[in-house]
């Protein structure tokens, strides 16, 4: 027996809002009668919220991580001065905090 699943329950809503929320496009290739090649049904979905909201965020994090990667390959002199200047900067921030 076939069960009614969550996917089938959401199917009409997905179909109605598909073009708007997912930019769904359907491509049907129906061979003429008598032809031997199979029929093709191609559905492409674009997740617009992912593309607009999360993808730029993920790209920004990736770029920042690539840049900051240099920090892991410094000499000991540079590390010590980095720590020192970071401390000075933080204390300055604290001193001038209103």
Partner 1 sequence: MAVILDLLVQGAQMALVLLLAPLLTGFVRKVKARLLRRRGASVLQPYRDLLRLLRKEVVLAENASWLFRATPYLIFAATWVAAALVPTFAAGLMFSWTADLIALIALLASARFFLALAGMDVGTSFGGIGSSREVMIASLAEPAMLLIVFTLALVAGSTQLSTVAAFMASPAVGLRVSLGLALIALVMVAIAENGRIPVDNPATHLELTMVHEAMVLEYSGRHLAMIEFAASLKLLLYVSLIACLFGPWGMAISGAGPAAYAIGAAAYVAKLAAGGFLLALFETAVAKMRVFRVPEFLGAALMLGLLGTLLLFVSRSL
Cβ at position 49, least distance to partner 1 in Å: 17
Give yes or no for a contact between 43 and 26, defined as CB atoms under 8 angstroms apart. yes
Contact range with partner 1 by CB under 8 A, out of 8-16, 26-34, 56-64, 66-74: 8-16
Interface positions, 12-31, toward partner 1 (CB under 8 A):
12-13, 15-16
| Nearer residue to partner 1 within complex by CB, 4 or 73 | 4
Whole-angstrom Cα distance, residue 40 to residue 82? Answer: 61
2 binds partner 1 per the rule CB under 8 A: yes
- Report DSSP state, residue 69: G
Helix (H, G, I), strand (E, B) or coil at 96: coil
Residue whose CB is less far from partner 1, 2 or 72: 2
Whose structure tokens read 């991580």?
A: 65
State yes or no: residue 59 binds partner 1 (CB under 8 A): no
Can you name the residues that pair with 28 across neighbouring β-strands?
A: 41
């Amino acid at each position: 027996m076939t069960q009614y699943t969550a996917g089938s329950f959401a199917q009409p809503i997905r179909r109605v809002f598909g073009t708007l929320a997912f930019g769904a496009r359907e491509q049907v290739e129906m061979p003429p009668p008598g032809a031997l090649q199979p029929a093709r049904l191609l559905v492409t979905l674009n997740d617009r919220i992912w593309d607009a909201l999360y993808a730029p965020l993920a790209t920004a994090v990736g770029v920042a991580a690539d840049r900051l990667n240099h920090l892991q390959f410094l000499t000991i002199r540079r590390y010590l001065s980095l720590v020192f200047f970071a401390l000075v900067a933080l204390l300055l921030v604290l001193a001038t905090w209103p």
